Structure 1
Amino acid sequence: MKISRRVAACLMALAAVLPSAAMAAEIDGSTLAVWWGVPFAGILLSIALMPLLAPIFWHHHFGKVAAGWALAFLVPFAVVFGPAAAGASFVHALVAEYIPFVILLTALFTVAGGIYIRGNLHGSPGLNTAILAIGAVLASFMGTTGASMLMIRPLIRANDNRKHVTHVVVFFIFIVSNAGGSLTPLGDPPLFLGFLKGVDFFWTIGHIFPETLFLIGTLLALFFVLDSWYYHRREEVLKVDPTPDTKAIGFDGKVNFALLAVVVALVLMSGVWKSSVSFTVAGAEVGLPGLVRDVGLILVTLVSLRVTPRQVHEDNQFSWGPMQEVAKLFAGIFLTIVPVIAMLKAGVNGPFGAIVSAVTRPDGSPDPAMYFWASGALSSFLDNAPTYLVFFNTAGGDPAVLMTTLAPTLAAISAGSVFMGANSYIGNAPNMMVKAIAEDRGVKMPSFFGYMLWSGGILVPLFIVMTFIWFR
Structure 2
Amino acid sequence: MKFLRLAAMGAGGLYLGASQALAAEDGLPGAAMSLWWALPFVGLLISIATGPLLYAHFWEHHYGKIAAMWSALVILPLMAVFGVGISAEAVLHTLLLEYMSFIILLFALFTIAGGILVAGNIHGTPLVNAALLLIGALLASVVGTTGASMIMIRPVIRANDNRPFNAHVVVFFIFLVSNIGGSLTPLGDPPLFVGFLRGVDFFWTTANLWREALLVGGIVLLAFLALDWVLHVREKGQPKIKDPTPDSRVRIRGRANFILLAGVIGAILLSASWKPGVAFTIQGVELEWQNLVRDAIILVLAVVSLRVTRKEYRAANGFSWGPILEVGKLFAGIFVCIVPVIAILRAGLDGAFGPLVAMVTSASGTPNDLAYFWLTGALSSFLDNAPTYLVFFELAGGDPRALMTTFASTLVAISAGAVFMGANTYIGNAPNFMVYAIARERGVKMPGFFGYMLWSGAVLIPTFLIAGFVFFG
Same fold (TM over 0.5): yes
Question: Which residue of the partner structure matches residue 98 of structure 2?
Answer: 97
Post-superposition offset of 1:293: 1.4
Aligned AA (2:353): F
The aligned counterpart of 2:20 is: none
1:172-220 C-alpha deviation (Å, 9 max, x unpaired): 2322233223334554455556667776765555544332222101111
Contact 1:230 1:236 in 2 (8 A): no
How far residue 430 of structure 1 moved from its aligned partner, in angstroms, is: 4.3
SS in 2 for 1:366: coil
Deviation at 1:449, TM superposition (A): 6.3
Q: Partner of 1:74 in structure 2?
A: 75
What is the CA–CA distance in structure 2 between the aligned matches of 1:189 and 1:271, rounded to whole Å?
18
CA shift, 1:388, in A, is 5.5
2:127 equivalent in structure 1: 126
Residue type at the aligned position of 1:257: F
The residue type paired with residue 243 of structure 1 is T
Structure 1 position 97, deviation (Å)? 2.2
The Cα shift of 1:259 comes to: 0.8
Report how far residue 113 of structure 1 moved.
0.9
1:346 aligns with 2:350: no
The structure-2 alpha-carbon separation of the partners of 1:178 and 1:123, relative to structure 1 and needing over 3 Å to count, comes to same
After TM superposition, give the deviation of residue 303 of structure 1 in Å. Answer: 0.7
Aligned equivalent of 1:331:
332
Distance change >3 Å, CA 374–CA 250, structure 1 → 2:
same
Distance of 2:50 and 2:424 partners within structure 1: 17
Q: List aligned pairs for 1:175-324, cutoff 5 A.
A: 175-188=176-189, 191=192, 204-228=205-229, 232-233=234-235, 239-245=241-247, 247-324=248-325
Partner AA of 2:310 in structure 1:
P
Corresponding residue of 2:48: 47
Range moving further from structure 2, 186-195 or 291-300:
186-195
Question: Is the CA contact (8 Å cut-off) linking 2:150 and 2:317 kept in structure 1?
Answer: no
The reply on whether 1:139 has 2:168 as its aligned counterpart is no
CA contact (8 A) 2:165 2:235 kept: no
Distance 2:331 2:165 in 1: 30
- Whichever residue aligns with residue 109 of structure 1, its letter is F
* Stretch moving more, 300-309 or 83-92: 83-92
| Offset at residue 28 of structure 1 (A) | 2.8
Give the CA deviation at 1:294: 1.1
| 1:230/1:327 CA distance change after superposition, 3 Å | farther
Q: Superposition RMSD on alpha carbons, in Å?
A: 3.5
Cα deviation digits, residues 416-466 of structure 1 (max 9, x gap): 343233345565454455456556766676666665554444323322222
Tell me the SS of whatever aligns to 2:184: coil
In structure 2, what is the Cα distance between the partners aligned to 1:444 and 1:325?
Answer: 26
Preserved CA contact (<8 Å) 1:348 1:356: yes
Distance 1:434 1:366 in 2: 36
Contact 1:355–1:374 (CA under 8 A) maintained in structure 2: no
Matches within 5 A, 1:5-16: none
Distance 1:126 1:194, change over 3 A: same
Instruction: Indicate if the aligned counterparts of 1:131 and 1:155 stay in contact, CA closer than 8 A.
Output: yes
Identity %: 52
Once residues 193 and 59 of structure 1 are traced to their aligned partners in structure 2, the CA distance between those partners, rounded to angstroms, is 26
Shift of 1:131: 1.3
Please state whether the residue corresponding to 1:393 is helix, strand or coil.
coil
Following TM superposition, by how much is the alpha carbon of 1:122 offset from its aligned partner in structure 2, in angstroms? 3.1
8 Å contact from structure 2 (residues 109, 143) kept in 1: no
Q: In 2, distance between residues paired with 1:463 and 1:123?
A: 28
For residues 320 and 388 of structure 2, the distance between their equivalents in structure 1, rounded to whole angstroms, comes to 27
Tell which deviates more after alignment, 200-209 or 252-261: 200-209
Q: Hey, what's the Cα distance between the residues in 2 that align with 1:24 and 1:443?
A: 57
Shift of 1:90: 3.6
Q: Could you say what secondary structure the match of 2:245 adopts?
A: coil
Conserved 8 A contact 1:373-1:416: yes
* Contact 1:114-1:313 at 8 Å conserved across structures: yes
1:418 aligns with 2:419: yes
Amino acid at match of 2:241: K
2:89 equivalent to 1:88: yes
Cα offset, 1:366, TM superposition: 3.2
Point out the more displaced range, 281-290 or 155-164. Answer: 155-164
SS in 2 for 1:364: coil
Question: Which residue does the alignment assign to 1:36?
Answer: 37
Provide closer, same or farther for how the CA distance between residues 296 and 75 of structure 1 changes in structure 2, counting only shifts above 3 A. same
CA distance in 2, matches of 1:90, 1:174: 35
Give the equivalent residue in structure 2 for 1:20.
none
SS of corresponding position for 1:27: coil
Aligned to 1:18: none
Residue aligning to 1:468 = 469
What is the aligned partner in structure 1 of residue 16 from structure 2?
Answer: none
2:239 and 2:272 map into 1 onto residues whose CA distance is 47
Partner of 2:364: 363
Q: Aligned AA for 1:389? A: F
More divergent stretch after superposition (292-301 vs 274-283) = 274-283
Distance 1:318 1:410, change over 3 A: closer
1:265 partner letter: G
SS of the aligned residue for 2:121 comes to coil
Question: Structure 1 residue 256: deviation in Å?
Answer: 0.9
SS of alignment partner, residue 248 of structure 1:
strand
